[in-house]
Amino acid sequence: MIEHREQMLLVISGPSGTGKGTLASMLLKEDPSFAFSISATTRPRRDYEEEGVHYFFISEEKFDALLRQGEFLEHAEVHGHRYGTLKSQVRSLMDQGRNVLLDIDTQGARQVLQNAPDCVSVFIAPPSFGALRERLEGRNTDGPDEIARRVSYAHEEVRHIRMYEYAVVNDDLQTAFSQLKSIVEAEKQSTARYMPEVGEE
Ligand code: ADP
Ligand code: 5GP
């Protein structure tokens, strides 16, 4: 059987603290066909984050220069900092035959849905805003003001759920992961990107 597969651009969005990063690492660990698109950001690096692993941490000036050079597939200002997906990142991972995972906000997702309508988009929702706040507090990476800002923006983000093809509520982590995997497995078999050739013998 000869099979042709085209790569998938998987966009996941959801409020900060919902568990996107957690679900993304589970998917990347379990499914080697996926690679993470490392974004550029002007946000300061958190202690546990590594340059070129979690993000490319860049200055405002560098961000402006990349923007002028048309290097971003999408970009947005989120929680007072700028974030952008580098076209070069996505292109080089796709050239390696990998499916590419983007963890981006709703403004960025809107741009990707316009520019790459064949992408697969999944909104990850928290079970409640209270649970979201607890997760942000438990993660211990942001102070009270920043947490308040992220929870407030979460109310705005959930209004955009219908823009996405799929939604997953991350209440029980294993259930959410299994739902995300089901979406990915079904999309791998979509004839939009999977073309089996049926031979005579
Ligand atoms: P995001 O990438 O969406 O900002 P994270 O993946 O960093 O979110 O998760 C935020 C916090 O919530 C982390 O401390 C993580 O361990 C925790 N978390 C993730 N999923 C769940 C879940 N289903 N139930 C409880 N806590 C969770
Ligand atoms: P954090 O600062 O917690 O890492 O991310 C904050 C928000 O920025 C999250 O909603 C995350 O999805 C989003 N984000 C991360 N990278 C990008 C990007 O390249 N583009 C856009 N539009 N959003 C991003």
pLDDT in tens, 169-181: 999 999 999 999 9
Positive or negative, the CA dihedral 92, 45, 19, 13 is: negative
Residues 135-188 have pLDDT tens digits of: 999 998 889 999 999 999 999 999 999 999 999 999 999 999 999 999 999 999
pTM: 0.96
Which of 38 and 5 is assigned the larger pLDDT? 38
Q: Are strands 99-103 and 9-13 parallel, antiparallel or unpaired?
A: parallel
22 lines ligand 1 (CB under 6 A): yes
18 lines ligand 1 (CB under 6 A): yes
> In testing the pocket of ligand 1, which one of 39, 81, 135, 171 has its CB within 8 Å of the most ligand atoms?
135
Q: What residue ranges define each of the domains in the chain, with the CATH number in brackets?
A: 2-190 (3.40.50.300)
Ligand closest to Cα of 56 equals 2
Q: Which amino acid is at 122?
A: V
User: Which residue has the CA at smallest separation from atom 22 of ligand 2?
Assistant: 108
User: Which residue has the CA at smallest separation from atom 10 of ligand 2?
Assistant: 105
107 lines ligand 1 (CB under 6 A): no
User: Which residue has the CA at smallest separation from atom 27 of ligand 1?
Assistant: 19
13 lines ligand 1 (CB under 6 A): no
What pLDDT score was predicted for residue 201?
A: 87
Triad 164, 42, 22: Cα angle to 5°? 45
139 lines ligand 1 (CB under 6 A): yes
126 lines ligand 1 (CB under 6 A): no
What pLDDT score was predicted for residue 4?
A: 87
130 CA → ligand 1 middle, Å: 13
70 CA → ligand 1 middle, Å: 33
DSSP state string for 156-180: HHGGGGGGSSEEEE-SSHHHHHHHH
4 CA → ligand 1 middle, Å: 36
**Confidence band for 79, pLDDT divided at 50, 70 and 90:** confident
Q: Which atom of ligand 1 is nearest to the CA of 172?
A: 23
How far apart (Å, rounded) are the C-alpha atoms in residues 90 and 17?
25
